[in-house]
Amino acid sequence: MVANVAEYCKTCDRCQKGNTSTGKRLINIIKIQEPSKPWEIVHMDWVTFLPPGGDRSCNACLVIVDQFSKTPINLPCHRDDTAMDTACLIWNRVISWNGIFTNIISDTDPKFNSDLWKNFHQLFGTKLSFYKASYTQTDGLAGGMIKTLEDVVRRICAYGLEFKECDGLTHDWCTLLPALELEYKESIHASPNQTHAILEKGWNPKIPQYSLRKDLVEIHPTAGSFIGMLEKAREHAIRCMEDSLAYGKDKGDKSHATPDLKVEDLVLVSTTNFNNIKGCKKLKDSFAGTFIINTLHEENEIEVELSEELSNKHPKIPVSLVKPYKSSDAEKFLL
């Protein structure tokens, strides 16, 4: 009896369409091409709305991550920088050291989607791979590493506003970012059990804190204060990385589920982006349907047969906006 009641509730057509989805979002983790060497494939994303920092009052940070070694480069910049400003920044700070990229994976930010940006990389033969948050999810690097690093940068920013030297000089987030990068390169990557620096360059950099001479009798007050700042920044960078990694993993496990969809399955489609449904918007169903899946696309999209009422909508729907429809046994629950 209890099982029948539970099945009836799960397969109720009215409930499936009217109730909002409270479970994990459906999303396929798309495997991207594996690079053969460092800085061949990179991921880019922005951390914006940061407090002004540095001599240029930077209020944003461009995060670039190497797919091979998982090594990040954090570039302080401005939120209103143009595509040309971004291209010059990457050329001066990254490409001049590591060469031209083979593939750049990013979201559809206007700078990355501009004609100038696209034409630049067409000239160099660099492939541009775009993803949308509601449509696709690349593998763990884009989905996890970039977001983790963004979270680390934000934590560093919050800390940077509080630290002052004995001379009164404030060390903001722009000053503390190098300590974060250096400590991150020294951290061990889980998969190959090697540090990021070894994977990127083949050797570990010499850390300032491990190279301090303890036989000096006199230390200049400003030099001592600077060394103290480096040590505090290093300790905080470690805490930020640990907290961000734990937070990112927990959030990803709670919010995403791999879809089990097949052609000819019945699905319901979220009405979040449907503005042409008749009636009061406040009372409209959370999901419309049912629809039959015609095609499964690798880019986390499905193609469905839409009803006449929704014929002006594009039949390609991201899997994050659908949920499987549970058909009820009409004879079993016939009253």
| Residues 51 and 188 both lie in one domain | yes
Q: How confident is the model at residue 86 (pLDDT cuts 50, 70, 90)?
A: very high
Question: Of 256, 278, 306, at which residue does a domain stop?
Answer: 256
| Residues 87 and 21 both lie in one domain | no
How far is the C-alpha of 128 from the C-alpha of 121, rounded, in Å?
A: 8
| Residues 122 and 201 both lie in one domain | yes
Domain that holds residue 185: 29-256
Average pLDDT over residues 50-66: 86
pLDDT at residue 243 greater than cutoff 70: no
Establish if 287 belongs to a structural domain: yes
Q: Which of 24-28, 194-198, 231-235 has the least mean pLDDT?
A: 24-28
Q: How confident is the model at residue 174 (pLDDT cuts 50, 70, 90)?
A: confident
| Residues 192 and 94 both lie in one domain | yes
| Residues 125 and 180 both lie in one domain | yes
Better-scored residue on pLDDT, 311 or 108 = 108
Better-scored residue on pLDDT, 163 or 142 = 163
So what's the pLDDT on residue 135? Answer: 43
pTM of the predicted structure, to 2 decimals:
0.62
How far is the C-alpha of 167 from the C-alpha of 130, rounded, in Å?
A: 47
Whether the bond between 295 and the residue before it is cis, its omega within 30 degrees of 0, is no
CATH number for the domain harbouring residue 313: 2.30.30
How far is the C-alpha of 217 from the C-alpha of 231, rounded, in Å?
A: 20
193, 133 contact by CB (below 8 A): no
CATH number for the domain harbouring residue 177: 3.30.420.10
| Residues 221 and 318 both lie in one domain | no
Question: Of 206, 227, 256, at which residue does a domain stop?
Answer: 256
Establish if 95 belongs to a structural domain: yes
287, 270 contact by CB (below 8 A): yes
Q: Which residue carries 């494939």 as its tokens?
A: 41
Establish if 246 belongs to a structural domain: yes
334, 322 contact by CB (below 8 A): no
pLDDT at residue 161 greater than cutoff 60: no
Establish if 269 belongs to a structural domain: yes
| Residues 85 and 201 both lie in one domain | yes
H or E stretch at 229: helix 221-255
Which residue type does 124 have? F
Our count of domains for the chain comes to 2
Establish if 335 belongs to a structural domain: no
Nearest partner of 65 among 174, 171, 187, 185, judged by Cα: 185
How far is the C-alpha of 8 from the C-alpha of 143, rounded, in Å?
A: 37
Round the CA-based radius of gyration of the chain to a whole number and report it: 25
So what's the pLDDT on residue 84? Answer: 92
How far is the C-alpha of 30 from the C-alpha of 129, rounded, in Å?
A: 12
| Residues 116 and 151 both lie in one domain | yes
| Residues 231 and 300 both lie in one domain | no
Better-scored residue on pLDDT, 116 or 54 = 116
Establish if 2 belongs to a structural domain: no
Question: Of 256, 277, 311, at which residue does a domain stop?
Answer: 256
252, 144 contact by CB (below 8 A): yes
Establish if 159 belongs to a structural domain: yes
| Residues 212 and 145 both lie in one domain | yes
Average pLDDT over residues 277-297: 71
How far is the C-alpha of 3 from the C-alpha of 23, rounded, in Å?
A: 21
Residue 304, both tokens: 């469905």
Mean pLDDT of the chain: 73
Establish if 161 belongs to a structural domain: yes
37-51 pLDDT, tens digit each? 889 989 888 888 888
| Residues 269 and 123 both lie in one domain | no
H or E stretch at 62: strand 60-66
Nearest partner of 125 among 89, 105, 95, 100, judged by Cα: 100
289, 300 contact by CB (below 8 A): no
| Residues 72 and 218 both lie in one domain | yes
Q: How confident is the model at residue 85 (pLDDT cuts 50, 70, 90)?
A: very high
So what's the pLDDT on residue 89? Answer: 92
Most confident option among 58-72, 164-178, 188-202 = 58-72
